[in-house]
Amino acid sequence: MRVSSAAAALLLIACQRARLPERVQNADSMRAAVLALVPVGSNLDSGRVRLEREGFACSLRHGPFAGHAATDFLWCDASVSAGWPVSRRWQVALFTDSGRVRDVDAKTGLIGP
């Protein structure tokens, strides 16, 4: 049996697992999921690559985040549909110390009209 390349591509897309922002529903669960993916002590660059593979856009920042004092951190942002026209926005911070992850925090909210 021959399968067309278009059908094969659709099958491949359908079989891919959902990315982290699509699987998690609250900030505490996201923090736990990110810590499982990027444990404390991990190299920050490695953590960035892992989170970007999960659908986040990341950039280095300095300042406060969700009640944390101003410091250096990797800020990662993602949005997923929460049912049209609303999106769930994720913001995750990986706090650093000498290029290593020392803590993680996450927050989320709904965005819509």
Residue type for 102, please?
R
How many domains does the structure of the chain reveal? 1
| CB-CB contact of 45 with 60 (8 Å) | no
Q: Please, which pLDDT band fits residue 68 given cuts at 50, 70 and 90?
A: confident
Q: Please, which pLDDT band fits residue 49 given cuts at 50, 70 and 90?
A: very high
Helix (H) or strand (E) run with residue 37 in it: helix 27-37
Q: How far apart are CA 47 and CA 34, in angstroms?
A: 9
Please state the pTM of the whole predicted model: 0.80
The HSE-up count of residue 61 (CA atoms within 13 Å, CB side) is 19
Mean pLDDT, the chain, whole residue set? 87
Q: What percent of the chain has pLDDT over 90?
A: 67
Q: How far apart are CA 95 and CA 74, in angstroms?
A: 6
Instruction: Domain of residue 30: give its range.
Output: 5-111
